[in-house]
């Protein structure tokens, strides 16, 4: 009798352990996943913090990469506000995460304007634009970065008071500590899901 109870208890414990292991192993990214992940294309840009902005500089951190512009009214403010929330949720671990916002509007987004705009959401966010004073060169540099990621951006007539609008890809990219492009987060993904995915990349 005692032996049979002991066996039942052992089986119960074993199944609980296996169940927990299964849950732990099945934890997966909630956004779009690349398999196998490729190395995220590096770039050399002018940073809004006055530095030379390269992706390689943040090796060892998780990078959250967004493409947008400071005059954007519908997409970028929402995404950046969400990313500011993500930073808060991460607590101390936020120091191991870097948000990079690459402009698709070099005509209007100077490093200083990017710094001021991003500071509204989180002063730790860094903006990036081309390295040259010549618009053509800067535009070409940014265009090359967009192409490397498959990002699309095109000028369009403005709806509000702005001189023009820019239609652009609204997803964000998650790059792991080893510089691998791991995930694409579609616009509108809940903050909790982004926090979950960033935490997962921090662990890996």
Residues that bind other proteins (CB under 8 A): 30-36, 38, 149-152, 169-171, 173, 184, 186, 188
Comparison of 30 and 115: residue with beta carbon closer to other proteins: 30
Output the smallest distance, CB 59 to other proteins, in A: 21
Assess contact for 172 and 78: CB atoms under 8 A: no
Comparison of 111 and 184: residue with beta carbon closer to other proteins: 184
Comparison of 18 and 152: residue with beta carbon closer to other proteins: 152
Output the smallest distance, CB 147 to other proteins, in A: 9
Output the smallest distance, CB 192 to other proteins, in A: 12
Q: How many CB atoms lie within 10 A of CB 100?
A: 25
Output the smallest distance, CB 77 to other proteins, in A: 18
The helix (H) or strand (E) run that includes residue 13 is helix 2-25
Question: Most distant CA pair in the chain: distance in Å?
Answer: 86
Comparison of 83 and 111: residue with beta carbon closer to other proteins: 83
DSSP-assigned letters across all residues of 55-107: SGGGTTSEEEEEEE-TT-SSSHHHHHHHHHHHHHHHGGGGGGEEEEEEES-TT
């Amino acid at each position: 009798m005692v032996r049979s109870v002991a066996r039942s208890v052992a089986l119960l414990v074993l199944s609980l352990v296996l169940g927990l292991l299964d849950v732990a192993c099945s934890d997966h990214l909630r956004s779009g996943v690349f398999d196998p992940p490729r190395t995220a294309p590096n770039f050399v840009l002018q940073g809004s913090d006055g530095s030379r902005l390269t992706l390689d500089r943040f090796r060892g951190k998780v990078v959250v990469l967004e493409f947008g512009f400071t005059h954007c009214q519908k997409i970028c403010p929402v995404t950046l506000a969400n990313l500011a929330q993500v930073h808060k949720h991460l607590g101390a671990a936020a120091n191991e995460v870097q948000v990079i916002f690459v402009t698709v509007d070099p005509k209007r987004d100077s490093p200083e304007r990017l710094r001021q705009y991003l500071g509204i959401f989180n002063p730790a966010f860094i903006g990036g634009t081309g390295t040259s004073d010549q618009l053509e060169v800067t535009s070409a540099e940014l265009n090359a970065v967009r192409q490397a990621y498959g990002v699309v951006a095109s000028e369009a007539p403005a709806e509000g008071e702005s001189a023009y609008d820019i239609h652009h890809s609204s997803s964000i990219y998650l790059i792991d500590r080893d510089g691998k492009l791991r995930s694409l987060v579609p616009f509108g993904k809940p903050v909790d899901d982004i926090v979950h995915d960033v935490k997962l990349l921090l662990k890996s």
